[in-house]
């Protein structure tokens, strides 16, 4: 061990030090002469000069540097990845057997493995694991944080000589690991990384998405759209089954494309009422590496209900007649009709209304309202009635369907209270629309191919073919474009403008409700050759899709809905409710409370506050911190009525078994720190590179005298003795 002194010299520092000493010496000599040149005076002034000399010395920032030589072997930290993704089986052994990444690592960790004897001949080894989860069952939720263990080593007082990291590189939580690698590089700590696992996916089929409604009507056929991803090298035919309590309710065969995503749907008609648990399962294919990701469960309430529909039209055109027939023959629909007959008396008969509902409360009883070729003004709607329609959609979650006609009366709606509800912008100067001499057809968009409203077949491909083959139309509305945020389900197959193809089937959300615009008047022609096969099915889906939110959860005196319908752990559940009085009308002033019971038993209470600007709508929410089955209760204090429902919250694992390894992450860490990267079969090369590291650079211990407490204490002591001496001589 040896050492040396360092100083900081500069012209300014030298000048200040010299000036300090010179001025102090002049004052000391002057004071010594004034004091009669006594010995005591000389001692005091010598103390002043000594203090000035110490201060001048301090200006040069003196530091004592000592070289520290290692007296024992340097340390190497070995990090083992124990995350859930290490259970992936993709490590091929020399004999052809396949084992998991975790098993391969466990065999490597055996004390008798030759790797450790090679390294221990030069280094002290310290073994650590990450993530440090006390519960192995929770590793799938912990995730892989490659930043944390590297950052922790960089923060330690004595940094190791090197780090040896074994991992699959599947970093999915925490900051980027390269940030911690940069800190280790600054400390001259190289990281040697070994990638475990293959960087290509295993043969697998994964059910990635499921869009099931929160409720369905008993004995009504519904489609459950799903999305799957195939990592199989060849197209594969598999069976998809829908199960209830392990009992098969539906089955269909699909062909999954190779190494691609696939969307389809499976349909069935639930028969038993109540809250029921269903699941969709893709039957395992030959050679599939894992099957635990082939199934997803969902909760669906099955009820027998009647959807209340109101159809408002001016003249009994063909579109109106066949729509009304479809509604009348639907056993799940109660339909009322208002046929205004401009300049004549309103139409009458079974199910016909003599006039528009007299109050906004009466109008709010309807779940879905159809507006045909109806406008504002004489023979149509008043401004107040249009405002009522807007209120029931915005605040009461009713659905509003626009069905324009050739006469163009409906154009006036684009300038009144209903203007924001129209999901399209109207072309100026063409109130009567566009007539055609040649039949035109609708073309589904990518959104419409698998939308619940337009699904006329089990798969998007079949659905697109059916829509392409439906009888066409000879008139369409003067639509310029869809409004921002609207969903375009179908467009004109031939005609386009500067904004693209003409949108003719468009839906949008407004407030808590939905709106739908159908820009043709020829859906009744879909009956040609197939009778009611597609025509009735389409309108049946419209009735139910538009009324879906109002019917999600309700009982006498209270109804509510929540979003998202298929929540995931971490989502915020937003609940909107409408309490009803004894007459069944919405209550604009009430106290609505909710309680959310988690699977763990934890209870969350929250109050639903009135929605600003809305009519009798109350909203609140809570965060879903767990996965599993929740119970939601909503209660109106004034009426003492309560409604409850069950919500199934999915909890996807952060860690995914079967995913490819990510060697690029480990390669970057090694490159930044100056280490070495290798795969599992290159372990010997990585170990040799680690053993070939040069001896660590001698470290230096720096003692900064210019700011050391002892030095400051000496200065304080000298000045203290000096001032006491001055006082003793009577100068103070």
pLDDT the model gives residue 657: 78
CB 677 within 8 A of CB 683: no
Are residues 515 and 508 in contact, defined by beta-carbon separation less than 8 angstroms? yes
pLDDT digits (tens, 9 = 90+) for 653-704: 777 777 889 999 999 999 999 999 999 999 999 999 999 998 776 666 677 8
> 32 falls in which pLDDT band (50, 70, 90)?
confident
Q: What is the pLDDT of residues 75-99, one digit of tens each?
A: 999 999 998 889 888 887 777 677 8
Query: Domain spans of the chain?
Result: 3-69+700-728, 75-196+660-697, 205-303, 307-546, 553-649
Please give the class, per CATH, of domain 553-649.
mainly beta
Distance (Å, whole) CA 146 – CA 521? 60
- Residue 707 tokens read as 């700011």
Question: Residue 72's pLDDT band (boundaries 50, 70, 90)?
Answer: confident
Give me the pLDDT at residue 353, please: 94
- CA-to-CA distance for 108 and 93, rounded, in angstroms? 13
* Alpha-helix residue ranges (DSSP H) falling in 263-382: 318-328, 360-363
User: The domain 75-196+660-697: what is its CATH number?
Assistant: 3.40.50.410
Please, which pLDDT band fits residue 59 given cuts at 50, 70 and 90?
A: confident
Asked whether 272 and 332 are in contact (CB, 8 A), the reply is no
Q: Round to whole Å and give the CA distance between 498 and 238.
A: 44
**pLDDT confidence band for 49 (50 / 70 / 90):** confident
- CATH number for 307-546: choose from 1.10.260.40, 1.20.1300.10, 3.40.1360.10, 3.40.50.880: 3.40.50.880
Work out the number of other CB atoms within 10 angstroms of the CB of residue 286.
8
Give the Cα separation of 88 and 560 in Å (integer): 44
Quote the CA–CA distance of 267 and 265 in Å, as a whole number. Answer: 7
The per-residue pLDDT for 225 is: 85
CATH 3.40.50.261 matches 205-303:
no
Mean pLDDT across the chain: 88
Lowest mean pLDDT, pick from 208-217, 243-252, 474-483: 208-217
pLDDT for 156-179, tens place per residue? 867 899 999 999 998 888 899 999
Domains 205-303 and 307-546 agree in fold: no
Query: What does 112-129 look like in DSSP terms, one character per residue?
Result: T-HHHHHHHTT-EEEEEE
Instruction: Please tell me the distance from the alpha carbon of residue 457 to that of residue 448, in angstroms, as a whole number.
Output: 12
User: What is the reported pLDDT for 136?
Assistant: 47
Rounded to a whole number of angstroms, the CA Rg of the chain reads 40
**How many other C-beta atoms can be found within 10 angstroms of the C-beta atom of residue 59?**
19
Query: Tell me: the pLDDT tens digits for 248-300?
Result: 999 988 899 998 888 888 888 888 888 888 999 999 998 887 787 899 988 88
Residues 185, 180: Cα–Cα separation, whole Å = 9
Measured CA to CA in angstroms, residue 88 lies from 103, 291, 472 at distances of 10, 12, 53
Output the pLDDT for position 81: 93
Closest C-alpha among 101, 166, 70 to residue 657? 101
Task: Supply the DSSP symbol for 528.
Answer: T
CB 494 within 8 A of CB 467: no
* CA–CA dist 170, 197 (Å, integer): 10
Q: Residue 69 — very low, low, confident or very high, per pLDDT cuts 50/70/90?
A: low
């Amino acid at each position: 061990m040896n050492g040396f002194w360092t100083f900081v010299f500069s012209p300014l520092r030298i000048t200040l030090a010299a000036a300090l000493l010179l001025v102090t010496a002049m004052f000391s000599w002057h004071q010594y002469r004034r004091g009669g040149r006594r010995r005591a005076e000389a001692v005091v002034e010598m103390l002043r000069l000594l203090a000035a000399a110490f201060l001048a010395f301090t200006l040069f920032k003196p530091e004592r540097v000592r070289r520290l030589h290692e007296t024992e072997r340097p340390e190497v930290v070995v990090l083992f990845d124990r995350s859930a993704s290490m259970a992936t089986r993709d490590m091929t052994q020399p004999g052809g057997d396949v084992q998991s990444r975790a098993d391969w690592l466990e065999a490597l960790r055996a004390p008798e493995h030759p790797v450790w004897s090679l390294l221990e001949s030069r280094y002290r080894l310290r073994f650590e694991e990450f993530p440090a989860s006390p519960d192995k069952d929770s590793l799938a939720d912990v995730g892989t944080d490659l930043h944390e263990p590297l950052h922790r080593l960089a923060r330690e007082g004595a940094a190791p000589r090197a780090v040896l990291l074994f991992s699959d590189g599947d970093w999915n939580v925490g900051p980027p690991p390269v940030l911690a690698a940069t800190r280790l590089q600054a400390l001259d700590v190289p990281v040697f990384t070994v990638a475990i696992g293959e960087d290509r996916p295993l043969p697998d089929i994964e059910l990635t998405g499921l869009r099931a409604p929160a409720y369905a009507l008993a004995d009504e056929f519904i489609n459950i759209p799903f999305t799957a991803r195939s990592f199989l090298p060849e197209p594969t035919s598999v069976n998809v089954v829908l199960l209830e309590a392990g009992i098969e309710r539906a089955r269909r065969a699909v062909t999954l494309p190779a190494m691609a995503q696939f969307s389809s749907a499976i349909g069935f008609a639930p028969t038993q009422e109540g809250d029921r648990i269903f699941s969709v399962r893709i039957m395992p294919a030959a050679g599939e590496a894992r099957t635990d990701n082939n199934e997803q469960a969902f909760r669906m309430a099955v009820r027998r209900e009647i959807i209340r529909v109101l159809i408002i039209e001016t003249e009994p055109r063909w579109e109106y007649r066949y729509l009304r027939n479809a509604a009348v023959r639907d056993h799940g629909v109660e339909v009322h009709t208002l046929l205004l007959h401009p300049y004549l008396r309103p139409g009458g008969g079974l199910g016909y209304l003599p006039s528009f509902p007299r109050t906004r409360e009466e109008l709010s009883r309807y779940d879905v309202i159809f507006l045909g070729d109806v406008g504002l003004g004489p023979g149509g709607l008043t401004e107040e009635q249009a405002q009522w329609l807007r209120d029931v959609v915005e605040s009461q979650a009713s659905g509003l369907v626009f069905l324009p006609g050739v006469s163009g009366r409906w154009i006036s709606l684009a300038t009144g209270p209903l203007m924001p509800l129209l999901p399209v912008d109207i072309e100026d100067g063409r109130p009567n629309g566009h007539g055609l001499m040649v039949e035109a057809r609708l073309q589904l968009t990518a959104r419409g191919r698998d939308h619940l409203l337009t699904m006329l077949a089990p798969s998007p491909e079949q659905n697109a073919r059916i829509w392409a083959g439906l009888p066409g139309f000879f008139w369409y509305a003067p639509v310029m474009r869809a409004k921002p945020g609207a969903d375009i389900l179908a467009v004109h197959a031939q005609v386009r403008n500067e904004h693209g193809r003409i949108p003719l089937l468009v839906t949008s959300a407004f407030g808590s409700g939905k709106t739908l615009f159908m820009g043709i008047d020829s859906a009744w022609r879909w009956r040609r050759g197939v009778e009611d096969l597609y025509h009735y099915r389409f309108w049946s889906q419209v009735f139910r899709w538009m009324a879906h939110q109002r019917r999600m959860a309700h009982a006498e005196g209270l109804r509510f809905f929540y979003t998202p319908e298929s929540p995931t752990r971490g989502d915020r559940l937003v609940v909107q409710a409408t309490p009803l009085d004894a007459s069944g009308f919405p209550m604009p002033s009430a106290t609505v409370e909710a309680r959310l019971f988690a699977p763990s038993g934890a209870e969350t209470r929250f109050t639903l506050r009135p929605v600003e600007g809305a009519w009798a709508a109350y909203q609140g929410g809570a965060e879903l911190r767990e996965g599993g089955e929740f119970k939601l209760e909503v209660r109106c204090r004034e009426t003492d009525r309560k409604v409850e429902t069950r919500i199934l919250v999915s909890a996807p694992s952060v860690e995914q078994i079967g995913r490819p390894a990510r060697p690029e992450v480990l390669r970057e860490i090694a490159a930044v720190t100056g280490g070495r990267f290798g795969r599992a079969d290159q372990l010997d090369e990585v170990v040799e590179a680690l053993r070939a590291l040069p001896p660590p650079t001698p470290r230096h211990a720096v003692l900064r005298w210019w700011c050391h407490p002892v030095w400051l204490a000496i200065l304080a002591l000298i000045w203290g003795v000096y001032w006491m001496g001055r006082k003793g001589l009577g100068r103070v």
